[in-house]
Amino acid sequence: MRHAGGPAVCAIRPGPLRGRPRPWRGRHAPARLGLAGAGFLRREIERGEHRVIGLGHGRTLAAAVRQMPRFDARAVRFVAVLGGLTRNYAANPHDVMHTLAEKTGAQAFVMPVPFFANSEGDRAVLLSQPGVRDIFDLSNSATLTFVGMGTADAGAQLVASGMIERREIAEINAAGGVGEMMGYFFDATGRVLDTTLSARTLSVDLNRGQGQRIVVIAGGAEKVAAIRAVLNSGRLSGLITDEATARDLMAG
């Protein structure tokens, strides 16, 4: 799956033997893929190369954190890379940070702002609040950013969680949006779209410096086009996915 500008690391969760059920599809996908994500995150922590690790949203990422064992990671600080206040508590990413802190003894910092502000002016006001700018600066310093990603259609988790409205995702989809990562929307070629949400997004800078890596964990037939779009952007250092999704990506 490697190609020019593509990820340097690609971890694939094996599927079952031929003829067996395929539990990584549908509602079981986040849990099975989460196991691979848990292993990856623990290995990265134990390597001792990261002082700050940034984390995003997503059911699969949450499953990875839930499946991590308890171990000492107090030398690392975890920080959210995007705002996370949402009307739907079931999708609230603060649980991820709390679970990480509980399992590792590390400091974990949430970003106490919404994912998208109501206006560009509101975004500026939120960023001026005491402590918020400090969290943004800490997030931008992360040498590893581990995130999920989503689609850019009516079935997107951003819509289900109430973070954005159906009309907003419809506008993005009509503009060619295929995938979303860290609040940025990509077309099929990997180009980042300038959308009505762009100026209101409360997320870290997508452009990473030297030594700063972005690794995505995502899988499922419904996300193949979205994953391919983000791969085409050349911004990923790694991808963790399942065998079926990997085969679909290679076939495209």
Higher-confidence position of 150 and 17: 150
- How long is the chain? 252
Which token pair is 208?
Answer: 């990473």
Beta-bridge mates of residue 229: none
Helix axes 132-140, 120-127, angle to 10 degrees: 90
Q: What is the pLDDT of residue 199?
A: 87
Query: Each residue of 65-108: pLDDT tens digit?
Result: 999 999 999 999 999 999 876 555 444 555 788 899 999 999 99
CA distance 208 to 165: 29
State the residue for tokens 């986040």: 30
CA distance 217 to 198: 23
Query: Each residue of 107-149: pLDDT tens digit?
Result: 999 998 988 899 999 999 999 998 899 999 999 999 999 999 9
Query: Each residue of 13-28: pLDDT tens digit?
Result: 676 544 444 544 555 5
Strands in 150-151's sheet, in edge-to-edge order, are 150-151, 179-181, 184-186
State the residue for tokens 């040498």: 143
